[in-house]
Every structure is written in C-alpha cells, then in structure tokens.
Amino acid sequence: RVRVVDGVAVKVEGIPESGFGPRGGLCGKALSQIQILYDPYRINYPVKRTNPEKGFGVDPKWKRISWDEAIGEIVEQLARVRKDNPNKAMFFMSPGSGKCYTGAVTIQTFRFAFGSLNFTTGGAGLHCGDASHLGAGMNHASWSIVPDYEYCNYAITFGSGKGMGTGHSMAMVGRTRGEAIARGMKTVAFDPMCHGSAGKSREWVPILPGTDLIVCLAMANTLVNELGLYDKEFLKHKTNAPYLIKADGRYVRDEEGEPVMWDLADSKAKNWKMKVHDPALEGSFEVMGVNCQPAFEAVKENLKQYTPERASEVSTVPAATIKRIAKEFGENAKIGSTIEIQGVKLPYRPVAAVQFRGGSGHSNGFHTYMSIDLLNLLVGAAEVPGGAIGWMVRSLGYPGTGHLKFDPIATKDGHLTATCWPPLIPGTWPHPDPKVPPEKLDLSDVFTICPSFSQFPFAEESEEIYQKLGLPYRPEVLIGWGSNLARTVAELGAVEKFLKSLKFIAGSWLFHNETTEGFADIVLPDASGLEALSAFDSEWYVGNNPVGMLQHSYHIRQPVVPPLYERRQWEDALVEIVDRLDMHEDWNRMLNASWCQMIGCPPAFAPDDKLSWEEINDRLLQNKFGPEHGLEWFKEHGFITWPKKVEEAYWRPFIDARSSVYMEYLVETKEHLQAICQPRDIKLDWDQYTPLLSWFPPVTHKVKDPTYDLYSFSFKDMLHAGSGSHHNPLLAEISDNSPYHYRLLINPRTAQAKGIEDGDMVWVENDHGRRIKGKVHPIEGMHPQCLGMLTGAGSTAKGVPLALGKGSCFNAIMEMDLEHSCPITLNIETSVKVKIYKAEV
Ligand SMILES: Nc1nc2c(c(=O)[nH]1)N[C@H]1C(S)=C(S)[C@@H](COP(=O)(O)OP(=O)(O)OC[C@H]3O[C@@H](n4cnc5c(=O)[nH]c(N)nc54)[C@H](O)[C@@H]3O)O[C@H]1N2
Ligand SMILES: Nc1nc2c(c(=O)[nH]1)N[C@H]1C(S)=C(S)[C@@H](COP(=O)(O)OP(=O)(O)OC[C@H]3O[C@@H](n4cnc5c(=O)[nH]c(N)nc54)[C@H](O)[C@@H]3O)O[C@H]1N2
Ligand SMILES: [Mo]
C-alpha cells in the first residue's frame, strides 16, 4: 500500500489485513521502491545503440528514438525470424524484479504463441533452481518447500535463507517463522557462513560447500539403521519405498507394465492401482519367477556406508553433531502422532529439513536435494501439519465460482505429478525421453530431467555440443526484459562471446546494466513496480502464494502514479507487438491454455479478441472470481481472500500419489542418454545416474593442487536483489556503511595464517587462472576453509553510478561447462576452489 501526497508517492507500507506478507512490516527492498520510482538514472525513453561494436565496457552510444520506431524495429526482427524459423528467436526474463511472475507469464505465453521453443532466465534457475525445483516438483508437486511454521517445532536449513531474508515469499515466511520461534521452535542452519540463515538460527553448523549430501546421508543412516526412527506407514503408502526392484535396479512390473509391491496382508504382488493393505518394506521375494526386494531394503542397505564419522571427514561437521541432530529431528517428528484441525484428524510431524541455492547449487545437486528431502520423507513430514510443505498445489476452487480448481495427481508408475506447474516448463514427472537432434537451445530435450534452466547457449562449449548433437539452427534474436544475464550467468567471457554472436538484442529495463550497455540494440523504458498494473502477480500458485493454513489471497498490482516520462509497462508494449505481428489467434489460444484451463478455469479468450493489457487483466479476474470481481473491484479492494480447507493445505493424506526415495527412472534415463552421448564423445559423470542416493564429491573437492585451499561462494543478502539493487540510494547508503557488503569475507585465523589484514587488497584466483580483486574483511562467522562474497556486487555499468565499482563480481571466476554442472539436472556448481594472494593496491 502506497501513500500518495499531491500526486507524489511518499511511503510504501505493508497491508496488515492480508496474510500474504508480514502483516504490515516490510523489508528494505520494498521500502526503497520510492527511490526506484523517482531515481534520476532511470531509463525514461526508448534508446537505440549506434555503436556497432559490442562487449563489456563498450560505449553503446545511445540515441533516443520514439516508441513507434523502437517497436517497429523489434517487430521487423521478429517477423523476419518467425517466417524463417521461430526458434531462432530466444526470449528471456528475470526473477530479479518484484514483477517476476507477471513477466514470466506474459513472455512465456508470447513465445509459445510466437512458436519458439527457446526461453531463458539467464543465471536464474541455473544457479538456484535446477535441482531444487525439480526435487520439490517431483516430491511435493511444488516449486519449493518450507517448514509449516504454524505447527513446526524443529526446522533445519541446508544453505537457505527462507524466511530469514532470502528465498520465496520471504516476508510471509519470515513472519510465520518469527511466530514459531516465539513459541519455542528450534532452528538449525547448516551453512559455511553465519549470516542470513545461520545468524538467525538457534544453532549454526559450519559446513564445507557441496558436502550437505554426505551429512544428510549420514543422518538418514542414523535414523534408519541406528535409531529405527522412521514412519513406516508413510513410506509404505506415500512413497515408492515398497516397490519391488530387481538385480538390475529396475522395478518388477506386472503384465500391465505397472510396478508391483508385495502385500503382506495376503501374500500377493499387487500394483499401485490396487488396494495394497500392508506393502512390505523389507525382505526378499520371488515374483513372476524373479528375485526381488522392496526398494527400501536397498536404500537401507546402501545408507550403511555413510557413517557420521565418514561424513564428518568430508564436511568438517563433527560426527557427534550429525548424530545428535539426526536424533533430535527423528524424536521431534513424533512419528505416529495426530492432530485435529477443522475437525479433521491428520498426521502431525512437526519437523522439516529444507534447502535452496546454497544447498543444491552444486555439481552433486540432484543427490543433495533428494537426500535432504529424504529426511522429510523418512519421518513422514510432508504436506502434513508441522512438516515440509510446498506452495499452493491443491485448490478446491474459489467458493463464489468453483473455478481455480487443481490437484496433484498420480501418473506414470503412481508417482506424484503437479498439475498447476508453471505452464510450459518441464521438470516434474514424467520426464520425456531424451531425443536427438535436439530442438531446444537449452538442450532440455536431451537432458530431460533438467527443468530447462541450463548453461546452454551461454557456455563456451555450447557450439561444440550443438554440433555433436546436430542442433539444426543457431539463435539470432534475443528479446525480453529485466535480466542482467551478461553478468549473472557465469564465466563472463563465454557469455560475452555468445551475446556478440547474436544479430539483435532488445528488451525493457528500469536501469542500464552490463547487459544493456554491452549488448542491447534497443532498450525500452519499463514502468517500475509502482507504475505498473497486473493481476498476474498472484498467478504463480506453486511458487508465490500463502502456504499452509494461511488463507488464500489473490492480490493485484496497480499503479500508484501514472508512468513518468515515456516509461511504459513492458507487458503493454508486448500486447502492441502481438497486434503488429497480427498474432491474436495464437496469443488468445495460449492465454486460454496457460492461464485458464491449466488452473481449472474455463477458457476466457476468443480467437479474434484484440484486448488491451487492462482488458486482459479484467477478463482473467472475472474468469476466476465472477463478473462482480473484475478489475474495477480489485482496484478498489486490492485483494480477495477466502479460507483454506485442511484438504488443500495438508493434501498428502487425501491424495494417492507417491514421492521417491529410490530414483528408478535414472536407470532408464542413463541408458537412453548414454546411447546419445557416448558415440558423440559427450562426457558426463554417469556414476551419478544411480537410483540409490549416494555421495558424490562436487567438482571443487576434486581440485588436486593444494595451493587452492579455500572454498569460495557468494551469498544473498536481505537488503539486495541480485545485481539490480546496489544502485538504490537508500540501500547503497546502508551497504556502504557496512563492513560486510563489498568485502571478501574470511575467517580471522585464516587471514592471520596468510599474513593478510583487514582492508588488504587481494587477488582471488581459481584453478583455471581466472581471478578477481577485492578487499578482505575477516569475520568470526566464516568457516576457516571458506571465502564468501555478496551476490551481485562488482558492477561495471556506467548507468548505475552508485553501484559502479563496488565489491567483486563472483561470476567472473565461475567455470561453466558440463564438468562444473550436476550431470542430472544441469545445475551449475556455485562454489569455486580458489587461492588468494596480496594484490598491488
Ligand atoms: N533479499 C533477497 N531475497 C531473494 C533474492 C535476492 O536476491 N535477495 N533472490 C531470490 C532468488 S532468485 C533465489 S534463488 C533465492 C535464493 O535463496 P537462498 O538459497 O536462501 O539464498 P543464498 O544466499 O543464495 O544461499 C543461502 C545460503 O547458502 C549458503 N551456502 C552456500 N553454499 C553452501 C553449501 O554448499 N551448503 C550449505 N549448507 N550452505 C551453503 C550461503 O552462505 C547462504 O547463506 O532467494 C530469493 N530471494
Ligand atoms: N555469483 C552469483 N551469481 C548469481 C547468483 C548468486 O547468488 N551469485 N544468483 C543466481 C540466481 S539464483 C539468479 S535468480 C540470477 C538472477 O540474475 P538476474 O535475473 O540477472 O537478476 P538481477 O541481477 O536481479 O538483475 C535484474 C535486472 O532487472 C532490473 N529490474 C529490476 N526491476 C525491474 C523491473 O520492474 N522491470 C525491468 N524491466 N527491469 C527490472 C534490474 O535493474 C537489474 O538490472 O542470478 C544468478 N547469478
Ligand atoms: Mo534464483
């Protein structure tokens, strides 16, 4: 809610009546939106590059042009490639602004209407989501998970600031977390640094980057093999633990091709579609002449090798700590207990283990995510009160219309599948079969478990791999908004080379950044969050809605002042592009498919509709909430709420679908992918394609040269959003006065041993010779073998002078190739092994 005095916005406030937020409080980023609105460095007019040369640091020689001319050039380029091959146009967006859902929705809808398979979010997802979204999608049907803070008593985070300054729906999660702490919840943070999450937790467990996997396997081993603390009922009926597997690792399947379990109740093999009373979790059986065992038997056996002592050697976490936390987690789960909510009796499991970019952003990301989540599945703490819960994946409908109705369901092999997953993004279940030649630039049609945020086409090795796989075309045009992908992907030189290879780059931004200055041909002046209209911001249910029993809330965004100068909302410009390309039929079809049918609403758009951005928003609101709740109603009321039912919040007991403790699908995917990759000499770490969750050292742990003795990483901060917030005057002033924001943080004893003092200028160099410079600041809250720096610092863009030259750009020392990626999800390795040495000042 924004206070406007005499037409001038003066203050941003929270909305106490809405449960979707902190009930009134705000973070610094929200408060400083006013500074963005009136910043004198904003882009106010469309501009065109007149310098044909491109690259980091090149002066674009901007020339102001009219909106008509700017859209005209974009349309000309799009029309040209659409006739030739629409896939030559790649579209992009960023989650880096507060309008990310609106932007994602519209650009995705547009590119599918346009006919292109190519979309990128740059570094987004590649760093943070490939493993996390895949894992949450597979096991929870949701984009991400959090502890159900309303009921949780014991929460562990593995590299995640969820509710502590970062992560999704931070303000809402932060409030409910705060309330839980006030009533005594214990929080434990595994993190190399005592900052966002660990600094706000009861217990900080320092850990080496990339080793959460072995710690979780050791905790699972302790729970299963030592303490016998696991939820047999949950494993039997809500996971694939009882599915019978053969010696080759595959399921035993019946005549219908369905996987089977052994029902102890009547000593028969039955498939998942039948009523199985008491499926066996242990033992060995003979079914249809085949010797087999329940998957859980294999899981249990495999875990035995991961002793807390072994995990301790790798991770530096003391074995006794691993054992104690495993025991506390298991005991606090209160396995077998129930709770009554709204008169419904439900399992009560008040513990959760969650992670995000810090945990799974590694070359062992898949196994890491799944092993952390295994802790939840072992004790049955998933989508029940107190456990790990996802964002909204089940809706029984808005009561006034019955629309907005969707459910997670069981599909292939009885496995859980999300149905309101963001349209057109792969990643949940079932995974398609890998195929060649590929059609998509991100190669997610080859690496089909990757939720499509990949290093391709940015990586240096892209061309070589495209040739090996026979990708029949190359991109020419890049269009979108917001992202600063030139700097936020990784390996700056490779990204520069790719961006220079394109014929035309255009997009909409608030400020210039390395991407616009170095590479864009046309830059449009976007309207900022306070100047924009959107009913789409609440639209991404699985990633951006009230969790747990917090009531359903659907908010709109509306301009508090009209856009200043010639600024214009990007979505409004996009509708004009649809118009000028005469794409209405395709556009309306995609609006219906993605934003009506997909979420249990009737279609709302006719093929020949020619609607403005306002009219599209109005149509969608009426479609969901009835004709009396159109845009006019929402402009007056801001948001609509309705109570949540327990069956929606805690759907697990009501939905017959299973999560995985055993990744059988990897056996087949490995075979199919090997058949493609091996004859073409494409190397992957095939060992990771094992159905049994296992320890794989990340690439940083394979660096042999002992002079590279520090694990470096970057972290996010409550005050900043990616690379885009460092120029904000309010935030810049606070950051300039903080000793942490723009320094290289190391442990005081590490500094001393290296003869380095507070304020010394050093080089940070990786084992491939890439290096960056920065000023050291020693802090106690840093693992002695680590070096941390703030994400998004180190700007070189002239258009944002308050950010220019502050801090170091971590991405400049990140490697980007298959070796530095998770071979299953393609998540990039976000930790870098480095050495540091004094630099000349
Ligand atoms: N304020 C703010 N909020 C944001 C964002 C933002 O830029 N600013 N960005 C949004 C986006 S796009 C994302 S992806 C999320 C990211 O949300 P998070 O993943 O919560 O944030 P990060 O700071 O990237 O990483 C979390 C923690 O992981 C630690 N870490 C690094 N490596 C490891 C490791 O190997 N193991 C463990 N256990 N810890 C490790 C870091 O020290 C850090 O404290 O936040 C979202 N919310
Ligand atoms: N070293 C390192 N690199 C990282 C990360 C990390 O933690 N460390 N995090 C990774 C992750 S998780 C992510 S998601 C990506 C994020 O990387 P990006 O998607 O590139 O996001 P930002 O860096 O926030 O840059 C967003 C740009 O959008 C602009 N912007 C902000 N609001 C608006 C708006 O309303 N409209 C328009 N048109 N523009 C706007 C900002 O000015 C800024 O230039 O970075 C990844 N890269
Ligand atoms: Mo992200």
pLDDT value of position 119: 94
Q: Is the pLDDT of residue 124 over 80?
A: yes
Collect contacts of 308-313 with beta carbons under 8 A, ≥24 apart: 308/218, 308/221, 308/222, 310/214, 310/218, 311/211, 311/214, 311/215, 311/217, 311/218, 312/218
Integer CA distances (angstroms), 145 to 134, 138, 352, 440, 735, in order: 12, 12, 9, 29, 30
Q: Which residue has the tokens 């359903």?
A: 552
Q: CB of 499 within 8 A of CB of 92?
A: no
Closest ligand to the CA of 168: 1
Tens of pLDDT, residue by residue over 459-479, are: 999 999 999 999 999 999 999
Q: Are strands 290-294 and 285-287 parallel, antiparallel or unpaired?
A: antiparallel
Tell me the Ramachandran region of residue 652: left when phi exceeds 0, alpha when psi lies from -120 to 50, beta otherwise.
alpha
Whether the Cβ atoms of residue 158 and residue 145 lie closer than 8 Å to each other? no
Nearest CA to ligand 1 atom 7: 721
Q: Which two tokens stand for residue 229?
A: 């603390």
**Prior bond of 739 cis (ω within 30°):** no
Ligand 1, atom 3: nearest CA belongs to which residue? 166
Instruction: Give, in order, the Cα–Cα distances in Å from 456 to each of 116, 122, 451, 791.
Output: 16, 9, 13, 22
- Residue 105: which pLDDT band, with cuts at 50, 70 and 90? confident
Look at phi and psi of residue 29 and say left if phi exceeds 0, alpha if psi is from -120 to 50, else beta. Answer: alpha
Q: DSSP labels for 119-154?
A: EE-TTTTTTTTHHHHHHHHHHHSSS-EEE-TTT-SE
Question: Residue 73's pLDDT band (boundaries 50, 70, 90)?
Answer: very high
Contact 252, 245 (CB under 8 A): yes
| Residue 481, CA distances (Å) to 64, 103, 792 in order | 19, 8, 18
Burial of 737 (0-12, 13-18, 19+ CB in 10 A): exposed
pTM: 0.98
pLDDT(509) > 90: yes
Instruction: Give residue-wise pLDDT tens across range 387-399.
Output: 999 999 999 999 9
| Whole-number Å distance between alpha carbons of 397 and 619 | 18
Name the residue at shortest CA distance from atom 45 of ligand 1: 167
User: What ligand is nearest to the CA atom of residue 511?
Assistant: 2
The verdict on the CB of residue 511 being under 6 Å from ligand 2 is: yes
Tens of pLDDT, residue by residue over 754-776, are 999 999 999 999 999 999 999 99
Cα–Cα distance, 742 to 791 (Å, whole number)? 10
Q: Which atom of ligand 2 is nearest to the CA of 532?
A: 35
Nearest to 367 by CA among 673, 788, 746, 689: 689
Instruction: Reduce the DSSP state of residue 564 to 3 states and report it.
Output: coil
pLDDT attached to residue 422: 75
Residue 777's pLDDT is: 98
- Dump pLDDT digits (tens) for 525-535: 999 999 999 99
Measured distance CA(150)–CA(161) in Å, rounded: 18
The pLDDT, as a whole number, for residue 103 is: 82
CA 623 to ligand 1 center in whole angstroms: 37
* CA–centroid distance, residue 795 to ligand 3 (Å): 19
Phi, psi (rounded to 5 degrees) for 9: -70, 130
pLDDT of residue 82: 97
Question: Cis ω on the peptide bond leading into residue 457 (within 30° of 0)?
Answer: yes
Contact call for residues 188 and 202 (beta carbons, < 8 A): yes
Residue 272: name the closest of 260, 257, 284, 280 by CA.
260
The rounded mean pLDDT for the chain is 96
> Ligand 1 in contact with 210 (CB < 6 A)?
yes
| pLDDT surpasses 80 at 99 | no
Q: What is the pLDDT of residue 555?
A: 93
Pocket flag, ligand 1, residue 125 (CB < 6 Å)? no
- Which conformational region is residue 591 in: left (phi greater than 0), alpha (psi within -120 to 50 degrees), or beta? alpha
- pLDDT > 90? residue 104: no
Task: Report the C-alpha gap between 421 and 721 in whole angstroms.
Answer: 25
What type of residue sits at position 353? A
Q: How far, in Å, from the CA of 129 to the mean position of ligand 3?
A: 7
Q: Measure the CA–CA gap between 736 and 682, rounded to whole angstroms.
A: 46
Q: Is pLDDT at 423 greater than 80 in this prediction?
A: no
Distance CA 786, CA 692 (A): 30
Closest ligand 2 atom number to CA of residue 485? 20
Closest CA to 396 of 572, 746, 109, 645: 645
Question: What pLDDT, in 10s, does the model give residues 149-190?
Answer: 999 999 999 999 998 999 888 889 999 999 999 999 999 999
CB atoms near residue 681 (< 10 Å): 8
Give residue 424's pLDDT: 63
Contact 523, 43 (CB under 8 A): yes
744-745-746 Cα angle (round to 5): 120
Hey, is 363 helix, strand or coil?
coil
CB 156 within 8 A of CB 353: yes
478 Cα to the center of ligand 3, angstroms: 20
pLDDT > 90? residue 683:
yes
* CA 792 – ligand 2 centroid, Å: 8
pLDDT on residue 381 = 98
Supply φ then ψ for residue 257, to 5 degrees: 85, 10
Tell me the two tokens of residue 639.
Answer: 């948001």
Question: Which H helix or E strand runs over 455?
Answer: none
Q: Give the Å distance between the CA of 710 and the centre of ligand 2.
A: 27
The Cα-based distances of 26 to 170, 235, 464, 670, 776 in angstroms read 10, 40, 48, 47, 31
Tally of CB atoms within 10 A around 650: 28
The dihedral through the CA atoms of 423, 429, 432, 434 has a sign that is positive
Question: Given a cut of 80, is residue 100 above it in pLDDT?
Answer: no
Q: Which of 357, 544, 719, 789 to mutate to test the pocket of ligand 1 (most atoms within 8 A of CB)?
A: 357
Please compute the mean of the pLDDT values over residues 102-117 and round it to a whole number. 91
| Ion ligand 3: residues, CB < 5 A | 124, 128
> Is residue 660 classed as helix, strand or coil in its secondary structure?
coil
Task: Specify the long-range contacts of residues 671-677, CB closer than 8 Å, at least 24 apart.
Answer: 672/433, 672/434, 673/434, 673/446, 673/447, 676/434, 676/436, 676/446, 676/469
Indicate the SS3 state at residue 403.
Answer: coil
CB 518 within 8 A of CB 55: yes
Distance 166 CA to ligand 2 centre (A): 14
Q: What residue type is 27 in one-letter code?
A: C
Question: In 383-423, which residue ranges form alpha helices assigned H by DSSP?
Answer: none
Q: Are strands 260-263 and 285-287 parallel, antiparallel or unpaired?
A: unpaired
Query: In the structure, what pLDDT confidence band is assigned to residue 427 with cuts at 50, 70 and 90?
Result: low
Helix residue spans in 489-612 (DSSP H): 492-501, 514-519, 570-580, 584-595
Cα 46 to Cα 278, 572, 805, distances in angstroms: 67, 14, 26
- For residue 782, the 8-state DSSP code is B
**Predicted confidence band at 426 (pLDDT cuts at 50, 70, 90)?**
low
Q: Token pair 């490639």 is at which residue?
A: 81
Report the pLDDT averaged over residues 259-283. 97
pLDDT band at 120 (very low <50, low <70, confident <90, very high): very high
The token pair at 411 is 């599909």
Task: Give the separation between CA 694 and CA 213, rounded to whole angstroms.
Answer: 8
